[in-house]
Amino acid sequence: MRLEIENSFLKDFASTFENLTDKPWAIHLERSSAWGNDSKVNFELSSVSTEDLSSMYELAKAKGNRSVMVNLTGVLAARKSKGQTKLSKLRMLDEAIRSFISADFIDGWLYHQGADGLMQPYAFESVRYEPPKLRDTESVTVSLFCCAPKEKGGRHNESAFTRVYLNFRTDDLNLGSVAQIFQSKGYSHETPDLKEAYLQSRNRLVEVVSQPYKQYWVKGSVMTSMELWSRKKVEIPFPTRAVFDEYHVFRTIIESFVPGDTRGYDGSVTLDNLVTVPLSMYTSIFDMDRHQYFWAHVDLLEDYAFDEGMVDKIVLPETHRDLIGILTQDLDIQFEDIVKGKSGGTTILCKGAPGLGKTLTAEVFSESVRRPLYRVHSGQIGYDPEHVESNLREILVRAQRWGAALLIDEADVFIRERSNDIVHNAIVSAFLRTLEYFSGLLFLTTNRSNDIDDAILSRCTAIVKYEYPDKEQAVRLWQVLSKQSGVKLSPALCKKLADLFSKDVSGRDIKKLIDLTARYADKKKLALDVDLFRRCALFKGMI
């Protein structure tokens, strides 16, 4: 079994020893010496003695490192628990497994460490010995189960339970005791610490499930499917926005069950008694960056805090700011078309040159109204009329289900004025037809200003034109963007820079120039002044 821990924690643990020469696991310190403290080390636990594991557990407990504690407690239990006797014959394994499960009984669960490094408990259901038959060798099969959500239309979606079957053969006996045999497949005997960790995760799961379509931060390993045979692990290395969405999922919560095939099991769990069923800790999320559904352990979901004050950081003319603020704040006030069901939504078209804040406007105002921003690039919708209609309909339905603000970025191909191009005309028509019944908040951005189709213009609640900033706005942009980048620029320097770069300079240009100049100044140990900004501006073609 392997353990994944933070590099910083491994260094802290190593510092508790005076001599590491007799510690096989210390080699990981050498391999990770060039990595940062936030990186993780993955190593085989068989290289760590039980005594060192106990010390590592105590250090994790002192530091409040719950992840390491949960992973180590199962390993320590496997090394110290009953079931340490090594078996000589496979037919003895079924009874040994029953004895192993019943030892220090809590629920009759085994805890599995998944590919994401997190624990998922399974209830013991049955164990069966199969004698050798013709070409088949003898085997022992263990059935475990938990209550898990199922994807609609998937295999066995009529059942609330997901079952796992573990197969053992004679060669597995060489691994050691029953505890060690299970450990080889990533399963640990239940302990009070593991149960406590499960209860915390369970309470978090109930909280998450009770708030559908809420937005979270997600970081870590996620799965592409709940089906064991088809799932793949995907690593999300940096926090990404994700919406909890189980619209496509069948979820039933059952936490007690009377299995029909547990006769002969330890007296604590019989046919006449309810078996406590663990819940699957995995939830369906939609990754807003990758535009894909994943399954994530509930412990990976971190609450998202909307920044309502972000609207004060955007530099827009007051008339623009007031209009967009009113349109986004009063989303519950909708005026339907004469035809019932037709669009009563709000569509805001933002047009202007690149870098003037069109996309930023949608990002900022979605934060101010505490709604997820579902950002879609035109390429994701497609350029074939048939696909445009079906893809856009799916996106609109999803946005309305979440109550999200929808941003279609660089929507030029869908809103450009129709001409003699039959295919393009069909795309615009499909786009218009699908938008007809959307009742949510929609932002459209385009770099085009003069050739937008009249039918598009007539359907927009507001059309906001973005101009290059005037001198007063430019000074404020230098102040706001430098502060955002953590670069100290005096008011006098901001004014000089606004004077120097006064012609057709966008907010994006200013932001990129600040970042470039700050990095250059830091590397060369130079002070930030007008001359240095002028020198760096040459690399961006701003002078």
Level-2 CATH architecture, domain 308-466: 3-Layer(aba) Sandwich (3.40)
Burial profile 67-105: b = 16 or more Cβ within 10 angstroms, e = fewer: bbbbbbbbbbbbbebebeeebeebeebbebbbebbbbee
| Chain position carrying tokens 């006769």 | 263
Residue 521's Cβ-side half-sphere holds a number of Cα atoms within 13 Å equal to: 20
Write the CATH number of the domain with boundaries 471-540.
1.10.8
Among residues 96, 97, 149, the alpha carbon closest in space to that of 124 is found at: 97
| CA atoms of 209 and 244, how far apart (whole Å) | 8
At residue 261, the pLDDT reads 46
pTM metric for this prediction:
0.80
Give the count of beta carbons closer than 10 Å to the beta carbon of residue 448: 14
**57, 143, 403 from 101: Cα distances, Å:** 23, 13, 47
Which three-class secondary structure state does DSSP give residue 454?
Answer: helix
Among residues 58, 84, 91, 90, the alpha carbon closest in space to that of 72 is found at: 58
Residues 6+ apart with CB under 8 A from 517: 528, 532, 533, 536
Residues 6+ apart with CB under 8 A from 420: none
Start-to-end C-alpha separation, the chain: 60
| CA atoms of 111 and 69, how far apart (whole Å) | 14
Alpha helices in 403-470 (DSSP H): 412-415, 422-435, 454-459
Q: Pull the structure tokens for residue 445.
A: 């951005």
| CA atoms of 206 and 540, how far apart (whole Å) | 52
At residue 107, the pLDDT reads 93
DSSP track, 274-314: PEE-PBP-EEEEEETTTTEEEEEEGGGEEE----GGGGGGS
Which three-class secondary structure state does DSSP give residue 42?
Answer: strand
373-377 and 405-409 as β-strands: parallel, antiparallel, unpaired?
A: parallel
CA 44 to chain centre: 27
| CA atoms of 434 and 539, how far apart (whole Å) | 44
Residue 379's Cβ-side half-sphere holds a number of Cα atoms within 13 Å equal to: 1
Which neighbouring-strand residues pair with 120? 112
**CATH 1.10.8 residue window(s) in the chain:** 471-540
| Chain position carrying tokens 């009377």 | 258
| CA atoms of 174 and 182, how far apart (whole Å) | 12
**CATH 3.40.50.300 residue window(s) in the chain:** 308-466
Is the separation of the CB atoms in 141 and 128 below 8 Å? yes
At residue 195, the pLDDT reads 96
Is the separation of the CB atoms in 260 and 244 below 8 Å? no
Q: Which residues of the chain have pLDDT under 70?
A: 1-2, 28-39, 43-46, 74-75, 77-85, 153-158, 228-230, 258-273, 330-344
| Chain position carrying tokens 């407990």 | 61
